[in-house]
Amino acid sequence: MSAGVETGVVPPVGGRLRELLRVPPGGPVELGSIDPRSTPGLPGPEVTGEHRKGWARAQLELVGAELGRQQEMLFATAKARSAAGDGDPAGPARPDGARREGDRAVEPGAAGERPAGGAGQRVLLVLQAMDSGGKDGAIKRVAGAMNPLGLHIRSFGAPTAEELRHDFLWRIRRALPPPGYVGIFNRSHYEDVLVARVESLVPEPVWQARYDEINAFERELADSGVVLVKVLLHISYGEQGERLLARLADPRKHWKYDPADVDARARWADYQAAYAEALSRCGTPAAPWYVLPADRKWYRDWALAHLLRETFDTLQLGYPPAGFDLRHERERLLGPERSSQVNSR
C-alpha cells in the first residue's frame, strides 16, 4: 500500500526519498555540499504547521504501522514458501544466520541462495555514521515499530581475534539476516575501508582492493534476494561536538562516551574523505547509497522510515494464500461443536 489518504501518511514532497537522497552511481561525492541540517522531502509549513518536529513524529507512528505490516508480509511469505517445500534448500537458519547443508555449514548470502522474489528474500538496512551520528537512536525509533521476532539487528565493533583470522567479510556473512527477516547493521563491512584506512590498520593496497570485494559481495547478496538499503547518517562537526558534550554532562550517558571518539574527531577531514570515496566507489545500481542529513533527529527518523517504506513498496509484497483447504479446515473445527450440540439435546 502506498502512502496516502488510506493510511494518513503524507508522502515526501519533490519525489521519493529513494531518489532525493540517493548518491548517483559512479560520480564524485561532495559531502561538504550536503547540509546536515537540511530536510529534503519534508512538506512545507502549510502541511506540517509551525511545529515540524511534532508533525514528523506523529507521521513516524503512521509510517511505522505500515512498516510493521510490510514486515509481517515479508516474514509470512518466507514462512509459507518454506512450509510448502519452496524454502531455502540449505535448510533452516541457525542463530548466526548460517544454515546446514548435510554436515556442512553454509554462510548466508553464499552462492546457491534463492533469487529475489523467492523464499530467500530479505531486507538489510546498513547504517553508517561518524561517532554520535545517531545510529542507535534511529534503530530504536524506526525499528521499534516492527515486530522484534522478525528483526535481525547486529552491531560491529573492532574485530575479535577470531574474526581477524578470516577475511574482513567473514563476520559480515555470518551476521546476515535469514530469509523473511529485516536485518539492520549498526556499522558494517564499510568500517574496513573507513577506520582501517584512516587509522592505517592495514597497508593501502589492502584497503584499496576492498572496494571491488565489497561490490562483488553486495552484487552476490542482491542476486540471492537481499534488498540492500545503505544509509549514511550525515551529521556536522558542530553537531557531533554538542552530542559528545551532552554525554559528558549527563551521568546516565557516560557509558556511551568513548575517549577514542575525540581522537577520531581530530581526523574529521580524513574520515569525510574516506566516506566520500566509499560512497562513490560502492554506490551501485544493485546496492545504492543514501546520504541522509541527520543533525535534526526528528527528520532523521522520519526520512529513514520513509526510505524503508519506499523500499518495501518496490517488493510488491502481499499475504500468502492459504496452503490448505479452507472449507475442510472449517468443517474440522465446527464438526465437534455441532456434534456436541446434538448430543446435549
Q: How many CB atoms lie within 10 A of CB 208?
A: 14
pLDDT for 6 equals 57
Summary mean pLDDT of the chain: 88
Identify the pLDDT of residue 127.
98
- Please say whether the beta carbons of 179 and 154 come within 8 A: no
Q: What is the arithmetic mean of pLDDT over 294-305?
A: 98
The SS3 of residue 231 is strand
7-28 average pLDDT score: 92
Q: Is the pLDDT of residue 39 over 50?
A: yes
The yes-or-no verdict on residue 93 having pLDDT over 60 is no
Single-letter residue type at 81: R
Q: Closest by alpha carbon to 299, among 65, 43, 16, 15?
A: 43
pLDDT score at 106: 40
pLDDT computed for residue 86 by the predictor: 63
Q: Classify residue 167 as left (phi > 0), alpha (psi -120 to 50) or beta.
A: beta
- Whether pLDDT at 26 is above 60: yes
How many other C-beta atoms can be found within 10 angstroms of the C-beta atom of residue 8? 14
Q: Using alpha carbons only, give the angle 188, 172, 290 rounded to the nearest 5 degrees.
A: 35
- CB neighbour class for 101 (10 Å; exposed up to 12, middle 13-18, buried from 19): middle
Residue by residue, DSSP assigns 9-50 as PPPPSSS-HHHHSBPPTTS---GGGS-TT--TT---HHHH-S
The sign one gets for the Cα dihedral 336, 340, 343, 345 is: negative
Domains of the chain, CATH where assigned: 17-343 (3.40.50.300)
pLDDT at residue 133, rounded to an integer: 96
Which pLDDT does position 119 carry in this prediction?
A: 52
Confidence of residue 277 (pLDDT cuts 50, 70, 90): very high
Q: For the segment 139-171, what is each residue's pLDDT rounded down to a tens digit? A: 999 999 899 999 999 999 999 999 999 999 999
Instruction: Output the pLDDT for position 101.
Output: 35
Q: Which residues of 124-136 are buried (b: 16+ CB within 10 A; e: fewer)?
A: bbbbbbbbbbbbe
**Which of 29-43, 90-104, 198-212, 214-228 is least confident?**
90-104
Largest CA distance in the chain: 87
Residue 149 CA to its chain's centroid (Å): 15
> What was the pLDDT predicted at 100?
37
Whole-angstrom distance, CA of residue 117 vs CA of residue 325: 25
Highest mean pLDDT among 12-21, 104-113, 321-330: 12-21
Reply yes or no on whether the pLDDT at 5 is more than 80.
Answer: no
**% of the chain with per-residue pLDDT over 90:** 79
At which residue does the C-alpha cell 526520512 appear?
303
> Given a cut of 70, is residue 112 above it in pLDDT?
no
**pLDDT one-digit tens code per residue, 59-83:** 999 999 999 999 999 999 998 888 7
What secondary structure letter does DSSP report for 167?
-
Spatial contact of 234 and 292, defined as CB atoms under 8 Å apart? yes
Reported as a single tens digit per residue, the pLDDT across 256-272 is 999 999 999 999 999 99
